[in-house]
Amino acid sequence: MHNQHRNGTNHQEHHFHRVDLSPGQLTRFVLLELLSGGSTYRKAVTLFGILFLAGIVGFIMRVAQNGFSSWPAWGYPAAIVAYILCTMQAAPIVAFALRAAKGHWRRPVSRIAELFTIVGVVNLIFLLPILFVLPPITGGRLTFWFEMNWLLPFSPPGFFVFFAMLSLVICGLGLLYLVSLPDLAAARDMKGGVYRSLARGWVGTPRQWKMLKSGANILGAFYLMTFVFVSTLFAMDLSETLVPGWKDAIYPAFHSITGIQGAIATTLVAMAIMRSFGGLREYLHMEQFWALSKPLLATSLLWFYMWWSTFLTYWYGRTPAEQQVLQLLMFGPYFVPFVLAFTFKFLIPLVFLIWNRVRMSIMGPTLIACSILIGDLFEFIRLYVGPFTVTQYGHILEEVPQAHAPDIADILIMVGAISGAILTYLITAKIIPVLSLWDTKEGLLLTRVQPYHKTEVLVIGKPE
């Protein structure tokens, strides 16, 4: 039944689709078909579960070998926490941005992005050991925060990083719960069970709908601002201040833009997977991929712009401290990760996404998104592993340390962390549907395909 759809046709290839289902058919598809797990789903859960367990083994190996006192050994785990923050955990920003921009094509995409808020819970747990191993600020390391004696196991800046991350997770969970409420209520009415507790008293009164839409916008805006704040703290206290002489005012913003680029890339890859394996083939079309490919190109250019701003200022100024930082992060021991990150995050997206034919496809933006996600991994390796290997204090990095290659424990931790995040997403997707039922129904009400002169056009209602 969900093969019934009406395409707009004109003399060129159409690029809008409208699923022609009744509300009842749509409800049954979302709540029965999407929430049930097939063999592919079970295989995926098994695979990522095994990899996650391997990651736990890697973590135990790391603790056994180095404990929590030697922070150079924890560079790769720190890099992977930042990677998950700036890819999966940032994805809900895409949903908020599309909702705020009122793009009519966003409806099948929103929930796919919003579900990534759950990844924040596991990433918060992954962050804890990193905060324990951070070098103390009493040794002369710079920090944004003043020193205080706290009763907590880790003192500033670790406390503030944890608190900020916790705020992000709580905000994200609140956002996910709020936007899922109507669907949870529909599941309550159809299936009962745990949904009776989750759906609370939602009955869909006009006031409740108004509160939901305002709340989604407000929480979405808070999520974006909190993400930028967390990104700023990660950039400053988990990376920049570990290197004496590294004073880069744009770095927090650069870190945030990397996150937004990663968010769009993650959403695109998730959309492609949901289209191929998640049962959303009739809902995710070229239109969504085409639309997201443009901000993907824009954020890739923005990433380069911010990198260039740093590089030019440092290269032109030629101060000894800045030259040492360039050596550490770009042209010295981490030259290869830098080149790979540059290629995957900027050159490949630029060369391919400037072509309309690549953007107007499903495979094109998906492959570029994969490229960006690979580039992100190298990017965070150079931005975190390098600084974590610095054990000096002072005003200048006297000696650039050698590159720190990953060992088996590092590889297991990285693979396990990413798998754990994906596993969390997969499990949540069987509780909260990946297609927003109420959003899709609203879209069906507000869109029409109708004849216009000699062609057909999409008419989009704008009740606001």
Which residue in this structure is represented by tokens 């923005």?
302
DSSP letters, 85-118, are: HTTTTTTHHHHHHHHHHT-GGGHHHHHHHHGGGG
Q: Does 460 bind another protein (CB under 8 A)?
A: yes
Q: Does 16 bind another protein (CB under 8 A)?
A: yes
Q: Does 326 bind another protein (CB under 8 A)?
A: no
Structural contact between residues 86 and 258, judged by C-beta atoms closer than 8 angstroms: yes
Structural contact between residues 324 and 245, judged by C-beta atoms closer than 8 angstroms: yes
Q: Does 296 bind another protein (CB under 8 A)?
A: no
Residue whose CB is less far from another protein, 430 or 448: 448
**Contacts of another protein in 134-163 (CB under 8 A):** 142, 144
State the nearest-atom distance from the C-beta of 296 to another protein, in Å. Answer: 14
Residue whose CB is less far from another protein, 224 or 434: 224
Closest by CA to 78, choosing from 237, 229, 223, is: 237
Q: Where are the extended beta strands (E) located within 8-142?
A: 17-19
* Count of Cβ atoms closer than 10 Å to residue 394 Cβ: 10
Q: Does 405 bind another protein (CB under 8 A)?
A: no
Q: Does 303 bind another protein (CB under 8 A)?
A: no
Q: Single out the segment in contact with another protein by CB under 8 A; choices: 18-26, 113-121, 265-273, 313-321.
A: 313-321
State the nearest-atom distance from the C-beta of 459 to another protein, in Å. Answer: 5
Q: Does 463 bind another protein (CB under 8 A)?
A: yes
Q: Which residues contact 134 (CB under 8 A, 6 or more apart)?
A: 71, 154, 157, 158, 237, 238
How far is the CA of 74 from the CAs of 126, 152, 331, in angstroms? 12, 21, 22
The site map against another protein for 206-225 (x = CB under 8 A) is -------------------x
Taking every pair of C-alpha atoms in the chain, what is the biggest distance, in angstroms? 75
One residue of 79, 164, 377, 458 binding another protein per CB under 8 A: 458
Residue whose CB is less far from another protein, 339 or 457: 457
Q: Does 317 bind another protein (CB under 8 A)?
A: yes
State the nearest-atom distance from the C-beta of 337 to another protein, in Å. Answer: 20
Structural contact between residues 8 and 449, judged by C-beta atoms closer than 8 angstroms: yes
Q: Does 22 bind another protein (CB under 8 A)?
A: no
Q: Does 47 bind another protein (CB under 8 A)?
A: no
Q: Which residues contact 26 (CB under 8 A, 6 or more apart)?
A: 19, 437, 440, 441, 444
Q: Does 352 bind another protein (CB under 8 A)?
A: no
DSSP letters, 169-183, are: HHHHHHHHHHHHHHH
| Phi, psi dihedrals of residue 11, rounded to the nearest 5° | -75, -15
- Classify residue 70 as left (phi > 0), alpha (psi -120 to 50) or beta: beta
Q: Single out the segment in contact with another protein by CB under 8 A; choices: 82-90, 150-158, 375-383, 442-450.
A: 442-450
Q: Does 252 bind another protein (CB under 8 A)?
A: yes
Q: Single out the segment in contact with another protein by CB under 8 A; choices: 66-74, 186-194, 262-270, 452-460.
A: 452-460
Structural contact between residues 309 and 327, judged by C-beta atoms closer than 8 angstroms: no
Q: Does 23 bind another protein (CB under 8 A)?
A: no
Residue whose CB is less far from another protein, 312 or 336: 312
Residue 231, helix vs strand vs coil: helix
Q: Does 312 bind another protein (CB under 8 A)?
A: yes
**Contacts of another protein in 87-116 (CB under 8 A):** 101, 104
Residue 5, helix vs strand vs coil: strand
Q: Does 319 bind another protein (CB under 8 A)?
A: yes
The site map against another protein for 227-246 (x = CB under 8 A) is -x---x--------------
Task: Please report, to the nearest 10 degrees, the dihedral formed by the alpha carbons of residues 106, 107, 109, 112 taken in order.
Answer: 150
Q: Does 170 bind another protein (CB under 8 A)?
A: no
Residue whose CB is less far from another protein, 173 or 298: 298
The site map against another protein for 376-395 (x = CB under 8 A) is -------------------x
Using CA atoms, how far apart are residues 52 and 60, in angstroms rounded to an integer?
A: 13
How far is the CA of 56 from the CAs of 74, 409, 412, in angstroms? 14, 10, 8
One residue of 148, 316, 402, 405 binding another protein per CB under 8 A: 316
State the nearest-atom distance from the C-beta of 209 to another protein, in Å. Answer: 15
Sign of CA dihedral 404, 227, 393, 331: positive
Q: Does 310 bind another protein (CB under 8 A)?
A: yes
Structural contact between residues 463 and 446, judged by C-beta atoms closer than 8 angstroms: yes
What residue ranges bind another protein (CB under 8 A)?
A: 10, 16, 101, 104, 142, 144, 225, 228, 232, 247-253, 294, 301, 305-306, 309-310, 312-314, 316-317, 319, 395, 445-446, 448, 452, 455, 457-463
